Amino acid sequence: MTRIVLASASPARIGVLRAAGLEPEVIVSGVDETAFSAATPAELAGQLAQAKAAAVAAGLPDGLVIGCDSLLDLDGRALGKPASGAEAAARWREMAGRTGTLVTGHCVINAATGQQAAAVAATAVRFGTPSEREIAAYVASGEPLAVAGAFTLDGRGGWFVDGIDGDHGNVLGISLPLLRRLLAELGFGVTELWA
């Protein structure tokens, strides 16, 4: 059986992969995200995903290492996890009633051979218009402080998202269709990896 390693502690990513039949081992990369910059949010998400996968793969003799990083592209700005409750609230006031693009960089590295495949998935997110009271309650829940873009689709934030255009899983942090294509590039059929 092929070892699958997720270079992320994201509960959402782990949940998506487990629900889809994989049993990933989790090894957090420890990559300093502040050391990276790029011309676009999509490029930055791609760089971070590759850096995280590479950092974990470097310490392994074998296995398929999956690195991901998600950012919200709002007017060309890369929005990751907010640093404070005040920042999360301000961000929600800015996003309300607008559409942003959730970009997730994906990188898969075969640790035994060093081969890698990488790409970025993008999903448009149409935000609702929560009231000040709803924003305050959502920020107080702590949920938006732990996620890129200060929102979730599968948690309390889902109440304030009017819809998406694209892959639902990508907004949760990992696109299964894209991951299947990347694994195929490395010669692995996804059904052969099911636990």
Active site residues: 69
Residue type at position 124:
A
Tell me the one-letter amino acid at 128.
G
Alpha helices in the chain (DSSP H): 11-19, 41-57, 85-95, 132-140, 168-172, 176-185, 190-193
Kindly report the number of other CB atoms within 10 A of residue 60's CB atom. 16
Per the rule left: phi > 0, alpha: psi between -120 and 50, beta: everything else, 166 is: left
Residue 124, C-beta contacts closer than 8 angstroms, at least 6 positions apart: 99, 100, 101, 102, 164, 165, 166
β pairing state of 64-74 and 4-6: parallel
Which residues 6+ apart lie within 8 Å of 39 measured at CB? Answer: none
